[in-house]
Structure 1
Amino acid sequence: MTPFHALAFTVGILGLLAQPALPETPLLAALTIPALLPWRWRSIYACAVFGVLLVTWHSQALLDQRWPEARYGEEVWVQGHIASLPDVTRNTYAGEGEATDKSPSNTSRFLFETKGANFPPRIRASRYRSYQTLEGGECWRMLLRMRPPHGSVNPGGFDYEGWLFRQGIGATATVKSAERCSDNNGYALLKVRQSLIDELRSWLPASSARGLFIALTMGDTSELSRGDWDLFRVTGTTHLVAISGFNIAIVSGIAFFVIRWLWCLWPPLLLRLPAQKAAMLGATLFAFIYALLAGWEPPVQRAFLMLAFISAAAWMGRLSQPSKVLALAWFVVLTLDPLAVLSPGLWLSFGAVAAIFYVMMSRLQPPRMWISLVMLQLMLSLVLAPLTVWYFHGVSWFAPLLNLFAVPLFSLITPILLLAILLAAVAPAWGMPLMQWCAQALAWLHDGLNWLATNLPHMWIPATAPAPALALALIGALLMFAPRGLPVRVLGLLCFLPLLFPISQAPKSGFDLTALDVGQGMSVVIRTANHTMVYDTGPAFDEGFDAGSAIVAPFLLNQGVRRIDMLVISHADNDHSGGADAVRKLMTVDKELGALTATPCRDDQKWEWDGVSFEMLHPDGGEWSSNNGGCVLRIESGSYAALLPADIEKKAEYRLLKEQLYSLQADVLLAPHHGSRTSSSEDFIDAVMPQWVIHSAAWHSQFRHPTPSVVARYAKVDAQQVVTGLRGAASLHIDEHGVSTPKFAREQQFHFWNAPAQALTIDLNAVDKPKKRAKSDD
């Protein structure tokens, strides 16, 4: 296996994954025929075809297992096993129908594996407001409300549907009722891990240190908060916490040196097997045991397989050809899981190992070991920086310096943590004090990282760049650390210049408007030639999802925006303001207006950017409810305009009709209150007369937004309507020449694993149903 064969195999996989649909059988047959004919490059071509065939077979099997869209919301009884460690969030309120004097209820998310032929084998389930404890490996019979895989789709945003597809998850579900069953067969490893984690939780008090302790030893990160992960990201230490190649290398490295030393103490053993080979076997075995304890998740599997291949090459004396060793390991890993090519961890792990080989295989020949280690760390930082920017939309400038100390520290503390667990199990008198000391050390470490993140300026640099610029930067990193004597080394710095000058996608005239797909909520980005406004930031939840960090900031960075000229929060409801904190952390915000700020919206506020007029039409200085007090913004270029009315209802609409009638006309309208029946009165619609109406509402909205009666009202004035949850982020351009046809993210960046875009159903005869009166004692 040469690097060229591995490259062709990868190109075949990536080429198919970029397609909107899987190829039909005749096309696959046509592609295969040249691989059967004798010609010079047949073996390389065959590897590419093998990649295409492998992904097609693997992907079709996963698509066939998906829960159908036609059965959305169906409630079914399913028996299966909890196939992961449940991710538990403690709620501060009692469950429905439960006494409030009980302990707080839990929200649990877990992987549920079924055996029935009529259900997807793997379901991502959520259980809310439960007082029952769920544990990995248990058998349960559950009443599940089923949903096919679906998520928000936005340029630059996280592809949740793609993540579910890679995990082999065929449905998501909400647990409505559950009862334990007696089938306790299987899942022995998961049960052992669950038992060990339960013991750790009983030994250590709840804290960030305990969460870090469990993450480093058992691979369970459920106790790490979103703030913890933000801290690791900002300081560039995420790779030290999530068990993958680094942690496997630590355990195997320590085991290698200890076993080699012990083997040499008994000379007869040396006659049977050299100490170095014995240490290789022992190190691989210990790494395998640690990988099992860490859950044998895909990143851990890849790390162990890579280690096993490198150890086998060293055993056979083939490390003089590291490129072939890595190529073979890459080929085997992708053969076992071709969708792993979409995982950031795969590229970061193999990239790091390749960089280590590049530096350590006597290419640079540093005079001292410590210089070699420093150069290695700098090399890793530079090589992995383009990948970090590509996957995580930024880079930590302090990470190279911090990792010079953090890597040795974590290399030392991780084996001690494992030793503490072992001693606590067999000799508590020794193990418990050591465990307490380790927890205290981790607490100090966490506090130190937090101090650095708080006191050092702008540790995280938000950034993005097109793939060609990042590839050029990667080449530049290799050139800078090329062997001495090559005249091209000085060109390495020049390869980084495109990263300093991102390509702007701002309009030359007028303005671009993008209504992001944030689920049930609202976030709109308006861009003129030299300015950017964010109107609302979508929701954020304690369970982990934050539209600000997952959708809004990645979209802005994808557009080449690093500074927000104005952030407008229309009102304080979570579905409009939840992501604001994350946006502030990730982006530079020059000015804020509206809720949560010292400058509220008022109807006399006007300004102009690059020939585009902005005018706040509402609220006035009166007393308004949260919804009716929302900021109503009109944006105009030439004689064409867009109107953003937040969540106002009919009372605020009446005020606008009375006092701002001649300012309401707009060609593009963000439907008030997501298309709720409490808004969009007929008089309001007649005053606006929109050409396009965008309903910022979730797919299968729990509030049934937009309501059929509202949709019918807009249809009667011939307005074209779209729902962000059905078609993804909606982008359009408005200038003095008119309004462009909107582009929708679900159609523009569609992959075969994505749910197709859906049209809005319109019933012209739909009317509001009368509300049910609440029962009274009269």
Structure 2
Amino acid sequence: MLPRAILAYSAGVLLLVALPHWPSALWALALLAAAALLEALVWPRWPALRGLALPFALGLGYALWRGDALLAQRWPLARHGEELVVSGRVASLPELSREAPQRLRAKDAGERVWRFSFAPEDPALPARIRVSWYRTDQWLRGGECWRFSLRLKTPLGSANPHGFDYEGWLFRQGIAATATVRSAERCEVAGGYWVLRARQALLDRLQAWLPESPARALTAALVLGYDGELRAADWDAFRLTGTSHLVAISGFNLAIVAGFAWWLLRWSWSLVPALCLRLPAQKAASLGAALVAAGYALLAGFEPPVLRALLMLWVLLAALFLDRLAASWRVLLIAWGLVLLHDPFAVLSPGLWLSFGAVAAIFWLSLGRPPGEPVWKQALRLQLLLSLALAPMTLFFFQGTAWIAPFVNLLAVPVFALLTPLLVLVLLLCAVWPWTGLPLLTVLAWALNAVHASLVALAQSHAESWIAASPPPAALALALLGALLLTSPRGLPLKALGLLCLLPLLFPPQNAPKSGYDLAVLDVGQGLAVVVRTAGHSLLFDAGPAYEEGFDAGESVVAPYLLGEGLRRLDLLIVSHSDLDHRGGVPAVRRLLKPRREIGALSVEPCRAGEHWQWDGVDFELLHGPRPGESASDNDAGCVLRVSANGHATLLPADIERGTEAALVRAVPERLRAEVLLAPHHGSKTSSTPDFVHAVEPRLVIFPAGFRNPYRHPRPEVLRRYAEQGAELRMSGHEGALRLHVDPETGAGPVQAWREAGARGWWAPPLREFDSAPR
């Protein structure tokens, strides 16, 4: 009955997560009452369904209760941007900006950027706030007390189909507000945060023992779970070689350290027969490994992924201690249930599915295997088949997979399996006896630098190994079935059908319109990225912003959207001008979508006024481009694109201002008229002049602007101008990605706002009213 109850409980949690809008607590109580009634009166007639209704209702109700408690702490939209003086503790190891490490770490630096979790003392405030502190010369340490003047913000992120869910990530971390520091002063409070302060002290010592290098960054990541010194280029190398799971502390690292401790304790315990008579060496090793795993998790700060892995490992070690490991599937299911009981929203984490998927795949691959197989052959077969079994999950969570990953992991897994426990031991030895541990740490640092250099070299020489794809869930589910069939034990019938199950991955569905064109204005914050699709072609107009070692709209929003829509390549990329908020995401789009043609600011081929072409009955025309002598960074030098189907037009004017608007009104007034207009320059007061608005005469105006952006876009006078024209006004920063279809017969259809159409229970609702309050 227990496995059935765990599955039913999990189904209740998954149902709540899938609901776009969560029910009230009264609905949850009514569901529990109905489930109890069903268990008592109805299900006895159907024994196969007995014991399912109540666990299902408990899963849904418990997850709803936990979710409501988190959402109740969320900083309200009405108080977005409010400044408060807040006292509290730095509740995480603070991360220093990695944009220019040497300069920012200098003693006299005044341009440091810190990001950290902050725990306020005031119980009326959210329990955890994610804080950014820009341009400071202060040095932060975990566990310190500070009195900050904070500008508090509602935890909002971009809302796009297939894109990274920043609000969901904050929700999983228990962060109910974000903030920036306006002023600060230290406060003295004794005691508390002992574990965090001990981890900070060990990190400080590590930074003193080793020079800044990949070895130091990897050591901090593998021992302390601190990845603040790893740069974006490092993560790219790990992604391209499929080794990210070896670096971020998760089930693999915990299992390796516990496994090393288990082997060492079993061997040493066996040397003393008297001890073995009291407690068998295997059981003693299981107890010791559980304690060592807990200590390692403590070093890593008990972050949610580490805690989940620890719970799973404890259940497996308990089964080994009680001689119940033979029922491996039952043990794994109990571990799953305990994890979801501790944190039902762990189901939103890719790490949970990959960790349990890997263990389940290992159990599956061990079924019916011939005994006496050489260890090297077992490892080779296991690694290759494990990569095949987990490939559908990798495609689902990361929109791609690296074909060289199985082969790299054949060497990387044993190397990290050796280095990780040695690093833990040596670093602890350095803290106790530095004169003994430091020489050993130097040797391990040399080895880590060599490993890092090898992975970077492999990533650079096999940059094309990443297969970017985002198949639909149905195709991935079928592929998972195919992987199970292909890796099944010998003699299982229908094994060859596994290859057929993989075929849908090669032919992704194309969500292209049959006629006319689709328009998608993606939510990239204060920036621009527009996708235009016809029946057989695709165009991207700008790629959104990107910041070094920070948010990259190309990687987080634009590329996932295009891949999720079934595209593998772009036909045309137009970069209107070279401002960062328009061209920042271009490198990621180039890497993942490989445009067949590029024109505009970042290409040798500029936009040329008068150039036109036709795709699938849809006309495209460039109305403006840079004139001789104009800089590509000038707003008025931006490309202006007109898209029309049977006269139903959309105008994309990028960031042009009143000078270019006036020139266009004089030169091509008849070409400006359009049903759909992307407001020039995000709705700034230097654009959307009365003459231009009158010439375009739009029915729908979309403002590509971030919520409460510092420029106060769109400006009130611009809003009034379009409203007086009778246009419908929409804004990506309020409603998420905005999509519509323009039909050649009927024109522009209704607008789909993703914050409403793709709603999640933890998202802020879409905003309808424009707010011009100070930011």
Give TM-score scaled by structure 1 length: 0.95
1:418 offset after TM fit, Å?
A: 1.9
Gaps of 5+ in 2: none
Q: Which amino acid aligns with 1:525?
A: V
Cα distance in 1 between the residues matched to 2:677 and 2:370: 61
Q: Does 1:35 align with 2:43?
A: no
More displaced 10-residue stretch of structure 1: 749-758 or 427-436: 427-436
More displaced 10-residue stretch of structure 1: 429-438 or 529-538: 429-438
SS at match of 2:619: strand
Q: Which amino acid aligns with 2:446?
A: Q
Cα distance in 1 between the residues matched to 2:515 and 2:479: 32
Aligned to 1:393: 399
Aligned to 1:775: none
Q: Does 1:513 align with 2:519?
A: yes
Task: Label 1:93 to 1:202 Cα distance change in 2 as closer, same or farther (>3 A).
Answer: closer
Cα distance in 1 between the residues matched to 2:30 and 2:152: 39
Cα distance in 2 between the residues matched to 1:710 and 1:678: 9
- The match for 1:574 among 570, 580, 601 is 580
Aligned to 2:452: 446
Aligned to 2:472: 466
1:101 offset after TM fit, Å?
A: 11
Aligned to 1:650: 658
Aligned to 1:751: 760
More displaced 10-residue stretch of structure 1: 620-629 or 225-234: 620-629
Cα distance in 1 between the residues matched to 2:771 and 2:563: 36
Aligned to 1:266: 272
Aligned to 2:211: 205
Cα distance in 1 between the residues matched to 2:626 and 2:377: 66
Q: Which amino acid aligns with 1:607?
A: W
1:208 offset after TM fit, Å?
A: 2.4
- The answer (yes or no) to whether the contact 1:139–1:184 under 8 Å persists in 2 is no
Aligned to 2:142: 136
- The answer (yes or no) to whether the contact 1:731–1:744 under 8 Å persists in 2 is yes
More displaced 10-residue stretch of structure 1: 17-26 or 290-299: 17-26
Q: Does 1:690 align with 2:683?
A: no
- The answer (yes or no) to whether the contact 2:25–2:65 under 8 Å persists in 1 is no
Cα distance in 1 between the residues matched to 2:391 and 2:301: 28
Task: Label 1:145 to 1:734 Cα distance change in 2 as closer, same or farther (>3 A).
Answer: same
SS at match of 1:28: helix
1:105 offset after TM fit, Å?
A: 1.9
Q: How many residues align?
A: 762
SS at match of 1:564: coil
More displaced 10-residue stretch of structure 1: 45-54 or 363-372: 363-372
Cα distance in 2 between the residues matched to 1:137 and 1:509: 60
Q: Which amino acid aligns with 2:711?
A: F
Aligned to 1:297: 303
SS at match of 1:43: coil
Q: Cα deviation per residue 1:733-760 (whole Å; 9 max; x = unaligned)?
A: 1131111111111010112211111113
Cα distance in 1 between the residues matched to 2:666 and 2:447: 66
Aligned to 2:313: 307
Aligned to 2:23: 23
Task: Label 1:645 to 1:154 Cα distance change in 2 as closer, same or farther (>3 A).
Answer: same
Cα distance in 2 between the residues matched to 1:733 and 1:575: 26
Q: Which amino acid aligns with 1:247?
A: N
Aligned to 2:567: 561
- The answer (yes or no) to whether the contact 2:650–2:675 under 8 Å persists in 1 is yes
Cα distance in 2 between the residues matched to 1:10 and 1:239: 25
Q: Does 1:321 align with 2:327?
A: yes
Q: Which amino acid aligns with 2:756?
A: E
Q: Which amino acid aligns with 2:27?
A: L
Q: Which amino acid aligns with 1:487?
A: P
Q: Which amino acid aligns with 2:234?
A: D
Q: Which amino acid aligns with 2:767?
A: Q
- The answer (yes or no) to whether the contact 2:470–2:566 under 8 Å persists in 1 is yes
1:445 offset after TM fit, Å?
A: 1.4
Identity of aligned residues (%): 51
1:115 offset after TM fit, Å?
A: 2.9
More displaced 10-residue stretch of structure 1: 453-462 or 336-345: 453-462
Cα distance in 1 between the residues matched to 2:652 and 2:25: 49
- The answer (yes or no) to whether the contact 1:93–1:105 under 8 Å persists in 2 is no
Q: Cα deviation per residue 1:199-247 (whole Å; 9 max; x = unaligned)?
A: 1111111122321121111110011111111111111100000000000
Cα distance in 1 between the residues matched to 2:147 and 2:170: 23
SS at match of 2:637: coil
* Cα RMSD after superposing both structures: 2.0
1:657 offset after TM fit, Å?
A: 1.3
Aligned to 1:669: 677
Q: Cα deviation per residue 1:54-92 (whole Å; 9 max; x = unaligned)?
A: 111101111111111111111111111111111111566
Cα distance in 2 between the residues matched to 1:365 and 1:392: 36
Gaps of 5+ in 1: 770-778
Aligned to 1:216: 222
- The match for 1:65 among 73, 96, 100 is 73
1:543 offset after TM fit, Å?
A: 4.1
Aligned to 1:587: 593
Q: Cα deviation per residue 1:276-325 (whole Å; 9 max; x = unaligned)?
A: 11111111111111111011111111111111100111111111111111
Aligned to 1:47: 55
Cα distance in 1 between the residues matched to 2:80 and 2:190: 30
More displaced 10-residue stretch of structure 1: 147-156 or 734-743: 734-743
SS at match of 2:178: strand
Cα distance in 2 between the residues matched to 1:588 and 1:742: 29
Q: Does 1:760 align with 2:769?
A: yes
SS at match of 2:171: helix
SS at match of 1:489: coil
Task: Label 1:244 to 1:357 Cα distance change in 2 as closer, same or farther (>3 A).
Answer: same
Cα distance in 2 between the residues matched to 1:94 and 1:390: 38
Map 1:129-528 to 2 at 5 A. Answer: 129-363=135-369, 365=371, 367-456=373-462, 458-528=464-534
More displaced 10-residue stretch of structure 1: 299-308 or 422-431: 422-431
Aligned to 2:539: 533
Q: Which amino acid aligns with 1:258?
A: L
More displaced 10-residue stretch of structure 1: 360-369 or 539-548: 360-369
1:723 offset after TM fit, Å?
A: 0.6
1:114 offset after TM fit, Å?
A: 1.7
- The answer (yes or no) to whether the contact 1:536–1:568 under 8 Å persists in 2 is yes
Q: Which amino acid aligns with 2:183?
A: S
Aligned to 2:649: 641
Q: Does 1:711 align with 2:719?
A: yes
Cα distance in 1 between the residues matched to 2:612 and 2:107: 52
Q: Which amino acid aligns with 2:558?
A: V
Cα distance in 2 between the residues matched to 1:709 and 1:244: 53
- The match for 1:88 among 79, 82, 96 is 96
Q: Runs (4+) of structure 1 moved beyond 6 Å?
A: 91-95
Aligned to 1:108: 114
1:365 offset after TM fit, Å?
A: 4.8
Cα distance in 2 between the residues matched to 1:3 and 1:408: 34
Q: Does 1:600 align with 2:606?
A: yes
Cα distance in 1 between the residues matched to 2:101 and 2:429: 39
Aligned to 2:9: 9
Q: Which amino acid aligns with 1:309?
A: V
Cα distance in 2 between the residues matched to 1:134 and 1:373: 44
- The answer (yes or no) to whether the contact 2:532–2:538 under 8 Å persists in 1 is yes
- The answer (yes or no) to whether the contact 2:638–2:655 under 8 Å persists in 1 is yes
Cα distance in 2 between the residues matched to 1:311 and 1:180: 45
Task: Label 1:620 to 1:108 Cα distance change in 2 as closer, same or farther (>3 A).
Answer: closer
Q: Cα deviation per residue 1:586-624 (whole Å; 9 max; x = unaligned)?
A: 221111111121111110322221121111111253343
- The answer (yes or no) to whether the contact 1:92–1:104 under 8 Å persists in 2 is no
Aligned to 1:773: none
- The match for 2:748 among 733, 739, 742 is 739
Task: Label 1:366 to 1:521 Cα distance change in 2 as closer, same or farther (>3 A).
Answer: farther
1:168 offset after TM fit, Å?
A: 1.2
More displaced 10-residue stretch of structure 1: 25-34 or 179-188: 25-34
Cα distance in 2 between the residues matched to 1:744 and 1:94: 44
Q: Which amino acid aligns with 2:21?
A: A
